[in-house]
Amino acid sequence: MNRYAKTHVSEGARTELHDLLGLTGAEISINTLPAGESVPFVHAHKRNEEIYAVLSGTGTAVIDGETVALAAGDWLRVAPIAQRRLFASAGGALKYVCIQVKAGSLEDYTMTDAVVV
């Protein structure tokens, strides 16, 4: 396994990083949803927690029927079982990151997992 891998994400509808970077603990996508459009389906997950980060624009997430406003700087955790669908506002595109990780997989982290050299 390489010690590191780097890629640059330019403008585009969707970039998936798992294969590009050789990720083993997450799938990460960078997405642009055009103004007024939505992800074309409602979905949930079997085992994966999703974390959404809004990079720019505004929109909404509908989660189990509840509408959650989204704006740049917002971070959202969605449990595997929750039914979700994202919408971009009519006024502009919604750019966001979606991080998919296995729920319950994290053990130690930060200072308890780090080794300071």
Residue ranges that bind its own copies, judged by CB under 8 A: 1-10, 16-18, 20-28, 30, 41-49, 51, 53, 55, 61, 63-64, 68, 71, 73-79, 81-84, 97, 99-110, 113-117
- Taking the complex as a whole, the smallest distance from the CB of residue 35 to its own copies amounts, in Å, to 21
List the strands of the sheet with 27-33, edge to edge. Answer: 14-16, 27-33, 94-102, 48-56
- Taking the complex as a whole, the smallest distance from the CB of residue 36 to its own copies amounts, in Å, to 22
Ramachandran region of residue 110, left (φ > 0), alpha (ψ -120 to 50) or beta?
left
Q: Which residues are CB-contacts of 63 (< 8 A; sequence separation ≥ 6)?
A: 78, 82, 83, 84
- Taking the complex as a whole, the smallest distance from the CB of residue 53 to its own copies amounts, in Å, to 7
**d(Cα 90, Cα 59) in Å, to the nearest integer?**
8
Closer by beta carbon to its own copies, 64 or else 91: 64
Closer by beta carbon to its own copies, 38 or else 103: 103
Q: Which amino acid is at 65?
A: G
**d(Cα 22, Cα 29) in Å, to the nearest integer?**
13
- Taking the complex as a whole, the smallest distance from the CB of residue 77 to its own copies amounts, in Å, to 4
Closer by beta carbon to its own copies, 91 or else 105: 105
